[in-house]
Chains A and B, each alone.
Chain A
Amino acid sequence: MNELLRRILHLPAQSSSVAADIDALHYTVILATMAGVTLAAAIAGVFLVRYRRRTTAVPLTPRIEVPLWFEVVAYGGLLILFCAWWVVGFAQYREIETAPADAIPIYVTAKQWMWKFAYPEGPTSQDALIVPVGRPVKLIMTSRDVIHSFYVPDFRLKQDVVPGRAETLWFEATEPGSHDVLCAQYCGLRHSLMRAQVVALSAPDYARWLDAARAPLELPGAKGDGQGLAEDGRATAAERGCLRCHTTDGSPFIGPTWAHAFGQLRHTADGRDVVIDEAYLTESMMDPRAVIAAGFPPVMPSYQGVLTPAEVSAIIEYIRSLRDAAPARAVPSPAGPIAFPPPGDTPGANP
């Protein structure tokens, strides 16, 4: 029954400890309200047919007023029904809002347009939240710019992430698997592509992941595989989300492409031409609104304080290496530092 209704209503999988209970209330409310509306429409339909005018003359009709006691009973009963749903719904809401004391804390930072997760044990990850199955996890979330909303449809959970505040959300994944995180609060140009994954791992896998994740980050700045600064820059650009707006195949996207750019003249929105060199690129990362490339929206956030000087150098070196790059089909995708299981239901379009 649960499975049938879930499919008819197009609800996603029930992957958190609260999802099945919430869906049960969902079915009750939706079926009862649908039945109520159908009944009302059916009665109206019967009256329309039964009392349609059959003569051309207009007859007088009796003045019938519904008795007060009937109104009190009918509306009182309806109100009691509504309030009963509210009692159940509010009890569930309290459960959702109150995290268990033993929940694992994970710190979440949202910014346009990426999610960053930091674990108490030390590792951080971007756009992939790795959690253990069967243990409550408490997210302590804040935003660095505008309001975002952390939404996992498979968990039936959502929490706005408000700048200047720490909002919490807890959940317990029931089975190993991968689930979409969607941003539900409109946050600008790339709102619909601000997606991440929650990856639930079995307890042993989670422990292994934690061990593996801790190791490389003990060497700050060493993000690449040691093949040189440009390769480090490529990895950094992927991890920091640069490649979500800048392509490396020559096609313009949200921002100008990086291919064949270094050393060229750039036409700016205020009608000047500037040389794309180390100084220009550094300024563009630290103060993106200082010089706007003509034809592109001024939407890039500042990376002042986000990128270390070593990372800035690496990214510039990477862009320089693309000066003579052969046009290649490069798909901009965040290459997280951690290899995690392939998501079962990946967002399809990632232009």
Chain B
Amino acid sequence: MRTEPDYLRAGRGIRSWLLTRDHKRIALMFLVAVTLALTLGGAFAMILRTKLLYSGPWLIEPLTYNRLFTLHGVVMVFMFMIPAIPAVFGNFALPMMLGAKDLAFPRINLASFYVYLAGAALALWGMIHGGADTGWTFYAPYSTTTPTDVAPVALGVFVLGVSSIMTGLNFIATTHMLRRRGLRWHDMPIFVWAIYATSIIQVIATPVLGLAVGLVAIDHALHMGIFDPALGGDPVLFEHLFWFYSHPAVYIMILPAMGVIAEVVPTFAKKHPFSYKALAYSSLGIAFVGFLTWGHHLFVAGISQFDAAIFGVMSMFVAIFSAIKVFTWIGTLYRGSITFNTPMLYFFAFVYLFAFGGMTGIAVATTSLDVHWHDTYFVIAHFHFIMIGGTLTAFLAALHYWFPKMFGRMYPERWGLVSAALVFAGFNLTFVPQFLLGNAGMPRRYYAYPDRFHVLNVMSTLGAYLLGAALILTLVYLLASLRWGKPAPANPWGSRGFEWRSPSPPPAHNFVVPFDPAHGCYAYDRPPPDEAPAVET
């Protein structure tokens, strides 16, 4: 048996990382970057929640508050949520799941990382230089007339979008061209379908976002009057352009999360999915129908009743695809052989939080109810249930699930379970009160609020502290286990997944022996294929 060093040891020195074309190393660099973004965005959230302990002016000025919630949104959406799962775990696992040595365009993959850094740097420079105070939605004409520095932040978002498109193109090309011989579409892991569907949205929708924020930046700098009615523009046009991207963008954020869950459940239930095709095609369904629902953000913006009708119905259709997924995951547990590892606990949290968040999505798509909830904390709670309860939970599940494969070390299971439970508790304490605040009528982006909202705001802030502490705990034990964790076997979970048939960590070219697609990645009704051969460590 020929032995070769794993990908972490395949090259030495900083240049071997910064100039690497290995998708696994690029994935790790993205992991560091998005973790920093999460830390930054989370720190902003903590300051905002601390301010909201009291309604009166304290801790920070109103202008600082407005800048902070803008940056919280921009950093979390564009620097964490959108790249988090595709650029880290998609990058790492997708080629391995297809039996490829790398992505179709390794140089573009590396370039997408540097474009991401450039976009992040531009946006962060804008933040230090003055900081936009428009909210992450950049609604005109406020965004085109505010004296703060909108242009660098908007251009940063534009550049981050370019990175997102590059990543998406790469995944689409890889899925079509680099599948291992004998690996048919219906043999692919569900995660690949999810990333593929995500990539389609990224490639089609992101240019429209680039257009919209680009026009805002131009309007702000040159007073062209594209969206400013004082100069003959139309502010509602901006809302349409913005949400044409930003609604599908929530599916960019949640589809990969669903893909992660679709891998975690069969592995820990040791069970073939309840319906492979339902999971695979519902991702594509969400990707396509998701393009036709953006108008539900404009029910009170003055759109026609006919438009409101269409967008309301389409929103109900897109919800059905999510219901299909939840139903299929739960059905997969039936007659399985379930073990309770950290990723499985995150799955349970995900099902509850995502279903809860998704069902409140049905509620806000019910047009007359949205009139009351629109732009209140109900909407904030709804999308945080999807974005944190869904995406962040799945991100943590993926991090624990693939941690042994990525680093060749095990994380401490006990700490994992404790922190997963704390994340779940902290999350609920943060966001359930926000649903009630929305019902009571507290609008979003409020520096000061009427006194009757005080108690619920305090509860929410305490929950945020607990959530923050749980995330810091997770970061600490994961960093510690990089050094002190037990060495991981090739397949610690007993998964049938293709990527687990390679050693942990994998060699630079992913597989010592190419896997046999005839042994399906969910074939838990048959004995496992031979264990992966050992490598020199």
Q: Give A contacts to B, CB under 8 Å.
A: 9-12, 22, 25-26, 29-30, 33-34, 36-37, 40-41, 43-45, 47-48, 51-53, 58-66, 71, 74-75, 78-79, 82-83, 85-86, 88-97, 145-147, 149, 151, 153-154, 156-160, 162-165, 167, 180, 182-193, 254, 297-299, 345-351
Q: Would you call B333 and A93 a contact (CB within 8 A)?
A: no
**Complex Cα spacing A103 to B444, Å:** 31
B35 at the interface (CB under 8 A from A): no
Which of B63, B319, B339, B441 has a CB less than 8 Å from the CB of A12?
Answer: B441
B363 at the interface (CB under 8 A from A): yes
- Count residues on chain B whose CB falls below 8 Å from chain A CBs: 98
CB-defined contacts of A348 to chain B, threshold 8 Å? 55, 450-452
For residue B324, which residue of chain A has the nearest CB?
A75
Chain B CB within 10 A, most for which of A34, A167, A351: A351
B71 to chain A, nearest CB (A): 14
Which residues of B270-285 have CB atoms within 8 Å of chain A's CB atoms? 270-272, 274-276, 278
CB-defined contacts of A94 to chain B, threshold 8 Å? 305
A-B contact pairs, 7 of them (CB 8 A): A22-B372, A60-B527, A75-B327, A93-B371, A149-B443, A189-B66, A191-B447
CB-defined contacts of B320 to chain A, threshold 8 Å? 75, 78-79, 82
Q: Would you call A51 and B300 a contact (CB within 8 A)?
A: no
For residue B66, which residue of chain A has the nearest CB?
A189
**Complex Cα spacing A147 to B302, Å:** 12
Q: Is the interface of A mostly helix, strand, loop or mixed?
A: mixed
A33 to chain B, nearest CB (A): 4
Which of B55, B134, B333, B372 has a CB less than 8 Å from the CB of A48?
Answer: B333
Q: Would you call B269 and A11 a contact (CB within 8 A)?
A: no
Q: Would you call B308 and A61 a contact (CB within 8 A)?
A: no
Which of A157, A165, A184 has a CB less than 8 Å from the CB of B302?
Answer: A165
B126 at the interface (CB under 8 A from A): no
Q: Would you call A159 and B300 a contact (CB within 8 A)?
A: yes
CB-defined contacts of B319 to chain A, threshold 8 Å? 82
CB-defined contacts of B313 to chain A, threshold 8 Å? 83, 86
B489 to chain A, nearest CB (A): 14
Q: Would you call A192 and B445 a contact (CB within 8 A)?
A: yes
**Complex Cα spacing A202 to B351, Å:** 51
B335 to chain A, nearest CB (A): 6
Residues A11 and B331 in contact in the complex (CB < 8 Å), given A94-B305, A188-B133: no
Which of A47, A59, A347 has a CB less than 8 Å from the CB of B333?
Answer: A47
CB-defined contacts of B448 to chain A, threshold 8 Å? 192-193, 349-351
Q: Would you call B326 and A63 a contact (CB within 8 A)?
A: no
**Complex Cα spacing A170 to B368, Å:** 14
Which of the 9-residue segments B25-33, B76-84, B141-149 touches chain A?
B141-149
Q: Would you call A89 and B312 a contact (CB within 8 A)?
A: yes
Ordered nearest first, which 5 A-B pairs have the shortest CB separation?
Answer: A164-B229, A153-B441, A348-B451, A92-B368, A33-B359
Q: Would you call B299 and A93 a contact (CB within 8 A)?
A: yes
A311 to chain B, nearest CB (A): 24
B316 at the interface (CB under 8 A from A): yes
Which residues of B5-62 have CB atoms within 8 Å of chain A's CB atoms? 55-57, 62
Contact with A along B322-337 (1 / 0, CB 8 A): 0110111111011111
**Complex Cα spacing A44 to B358, Å:** 17
Contact with A along B432-451 (1 / 0, CB 8 A): 00001101110111111111
Q: Would you call A96 and B271 a contact (CB within 8 A)?
A: no
Given contact pairs A11-B440, A25-B366, A95-B368, a sample of 13 additional A-B residue pairs in the complex whose CB atoms are under 8 Å apart: A51-B334, A64-B274, A85-B366, A90-B309, A93-B308, A147-B139, A162-B229, A164-B229, A185-B139, A189-B63, A299-B63, A345-B452, A351-B448
Chain A CB within 10 A, most for which of B133, B276, B300, B329: B300
**Complex Cα spacing A26 to B378, Å:** 13
Residues A298 and B278 in contact in the complex (CB < 8 Å), given A74-B327, A145-B141: no
CB-defined contacts of B339 to chain A, threshold 8 Å? 52-53
CB-defined contacts of B272 to chain A, threshold 8 Å? 61, 63-65
CB-defined contacts of A89 to chain B, threshold 8 Å? 312, 366-369
**Complex Cα spacing A83 to B356, Å:** 19
Q: Would you call B142 and A187 a contact (CB within 8 A)?
A: yes
CB-defined contacts of B359 to chain A, threshold 8 Å? 33-34, 36-37
A215 to chain B, nearest CB (A): 33
Q: Would you call A44 and B333 a contact (CB within 8 A)?
A: yes
Q: Would you call B440 and A188 a contact (CB within 8 A)?
A: no
A26 to chain B, nearest CB (A): 6
A63 to chain B, nearest CB (A): 4
Q: Would you call B274 and A47 a contact (CB within 8 A)?
A: no
CB-defined contacts of A188 to chain B, threshold 8 Å? 66, 133, 142, 146
Q: Would you call B371 and A96 a contact (CB within 8 A)?
A: yes
A288 to chain B, nearest CB (A): 11
Which of the 9-residue segments B230-238, B480-488, B499-507 touches chain A?
B230-238
B301 at the interface (CB under 8 A from A): yes
Which of A48, A61, A254, A350 has a CB less than 8 Å from the CB of B271?
Answer: A61
Q: Would you call B57 and A351 a contact (CB within 8 A)?
A: yes
CB-defined contacts of A189 to chain B, threshold 8 Å? 62-63, 66, 133
Q: Would you call B376 and A10 a contact (CB within 8 A)?
A: no
B340 at the interface (CB under 8 A from A): yes
CB-defined contacts of A36 to chain B, threshold 8 Å? 355, 359
Residues A40 and B367 in contact in the complex (CB < 8 Å), given A9-B439, A184-B376: no
CB-defined contacts of A146 to chain B, threshold 8 Å? 139, 141-142, 145
**Complex Cα spacing A158 to B107, Å:** 50
B97 to chain A, nearest CB (A): 20
B135 at the interface (CB under 8 A from A): yes
**Complex Cα spacing A51 to B301, Å:** 50
Q: Would you call B372 and A156 a contact (CB within 8 A)?
A: yes
